[in-house]
Amino acid sequence: MAPTNITGISEFLLLGFSEEPELQSFISGLFLCMYLINVFGNLLIILAVSDPHLHTPMYFFLSNLSFVDICLTSTTIPKMLWNIQTQSKVITYEGCITQMFFFILFTGLDDFLLTVMAYDRYVAICHPLHYTVIMNPQICGILLLVSWAITVFHSLLQTLMVLRLSFCGELEIPHYFCELNQMVQLACSDNFLNDMVMYFAAGLLAGAPLSGICYSYSKIVSSICGISSAQGKLKASSTCVSHLSVVFLFYCTSLGVYMSSAATQSSHSSEIASVMYTVVTPMLNPFIYSLRNKDIKRVLQAFFRKAAIKRPFVFS
């Protein structure tokens, strides 16, 4: 008998990582800790950047990256923790579509913001005398607005492509959130067009920013090599180390692990890949930028000193 086409589905089942009860508590505790570290760490970055001394293009984009990282993890982790707590795997059809939309949106924004930050470092090192003219507030706002516009359009396009699909049979997603590829594979209608759009968009929206980052840093390396003093080389390169570390983490985990999972056709590998670049990398970003950045450490130390001085007066 041919499968019945269900056009009025109401829910999906998120299978998550493991069904063993003894592992559920461990997974819940682990992800709760990572989520809280991510939220509080990135909030501290945003708080530090609010200091008037850090009102520069680099810190402007960094604060936006921290905001996007909070939103990215908040899209998936709270629902997973709620399902574990209630011992339920259900997510509504509307909730699944909404989660997928925002996940694609914030993942794309992460990608574009890293590219814009690479361009900012390129201008600062290769054209230092014109930096304030090129990276003026209007240009920074336009770059951020364009990044939002492109990613919103892409996310909306992918969501509308999924909405045209019909689903039937078992509606179990072997993941801890509604991932686009898993959703498309569940459809019982023809998904060839979805696959074409998905892979074309992934190649374009991942390849173009990565090419931009590689081009920016090739010019940066050339400029640094042209600096005569060793101190000047060290000062110029130190401003790029934090950003390069984040780029390395984001692309190596998202591209490298996904390529291996595609080769093995393992949904478990896909889950691990998603955790690495949507949870672990945003959690590590505040440490990478704060530990290697004297300005942020100085502002945060001043903030905590003021908080410690004010506390006795609050209690009295």
Q: Which CATH homologous superfamily contains domain 11-296?
A: Rhodopsin 7-helix transmembrane proteins (1.20.1070.10)
Rounded CA-CA distance 58/121 in Å is 8
Contact present, 143 and 116 (Cβ < 8 Å): yes
CB 110, CB 68: distance < 8 Å: yes
User: What is the residue extent of each domain of the chain?
Assistant: 11-296
What are the DSSP calls for 26-62, one per residue?
HHHHHHHHHHHHHHHHHHHHHHHHTSGGG-SHHHHHH
How crowded is residue 213: how many other Cβ atoms within 10 Å of its Cβ?
Answer: 23
Give residues with Cβ within 8 angstroms of 295, minimum separation 6: 53, 54, 59
Tell me what pLDDT residue 271 has: 74
Q: Please count the other Cβ atoms lying within 10 Å of the Cβ belonging to residue 177.
A: 21
> HSE on the CB side for 103, CA within 13 Å?
24
Which pLDDT value is given to residue 294? 78
pLDDT in tens, the chain (316 residues): 344 444 457 789 998 876 677 788 888 999 999 999 999 999 999 998 888 888 899 999 999 999 999 999 999 999 999 998 888 889 999 999 999 999 999 999 999 999 999 999 999 999 989 999 999 999 999 999 999 999 999 999 999 999 999 888 668 888 889 988 888 888 888 888 998 998 898 888 888 999 999 999 999 999 888 877 778 778 778 778 888 888 888 887 776 555 655 555 555 666 777 788 788 889 988 888 876 677 887 888 887 787 777 665 444 4
pTM of the model: 0.89
Give 56-98 as a 3 state SS string: CHHHHHHHHHHHHHHHHHHHHHHHHHHHHHHCCCEEEHHHHHH
DSSP H helical ranges for the chain = 21-49, 57-86, 93-126, 131-134, 137-163, 180-186, 192-225, 230-251, 257-264, 267-275, 281-291, 294-315
Structure tokens at 193: 């067009």
**Residue 121 in contact with residue 240, Cβ under 8 Å?**
yes
Question: How is residue 50 written in tokens?
Answer: 């609010």
Contact 285, 66 (CB under 8 A): yes
